[in-house]
Amino acid sequence: MRVAKSEITYFVKVVFFMLCSIIIPLYNKADFIEEALQSILNQTYQNFEVIVVDDGSDDGGADCVRAIKDNRVTLVQQPNAGCRRPEIGELNWRKVIWCAF
C-alpha cells in the first residue's frame, strides 16, 4: 500500500500541532507540585496546557502553582470534593484532543 506524501504531511502537522491537556489534581502536595510542573514544562513537546485542580488544599500548594509564571499553567481552585470529581469537572469545559491525568 502506498501512502501519498500529502497524507503523511497532514498526519505530521496534526500530530505536531495537537493540543494536549494535562490535568493534575492537587490536594495537600505542596512539596511535590513544583517538581511535577517543572518536569512537564521541560518536555520537548510544547503544545500543551496544564490544568492544576486544587481540591481544597491547605498546605500552600496553590501558591506554589501561582509562583510558576507560564501561560500554559492554569490553576482552578474548589472546595474539597474528593479524588476523581475535580478531573471530571474540568473536562466538562475543555475541548481537547489528548488528555492525561
Domain of 35, CATH number, reads 3.90.550.10
77-90 per-position pLDDT tens digit:
988 877 655 555 55
Is there a domain that residue 79 lies in?
Answer: yes
Task: Report the domain count for the chain.
Answer: 1
pLDDT at 32 over 80: yes
CA end-to-end distance (rounded Å), the chain: 37
Average pLDDT value over all residues in the chain: 79
From residue 39, give the alpha-carbon distance in Å to each of 16, 30, 56.
Answer: 20, 15, 24
Q: CB of 90 within 8 A of CB of 53?
A: yes
Structural domain boundaries enclosing 84: 18-100
Q: CB of 96 within 8 A of CB of 20?
A: yes
pTM over 0.75: no
Percent of the chain having pLDDT more than 90? 43
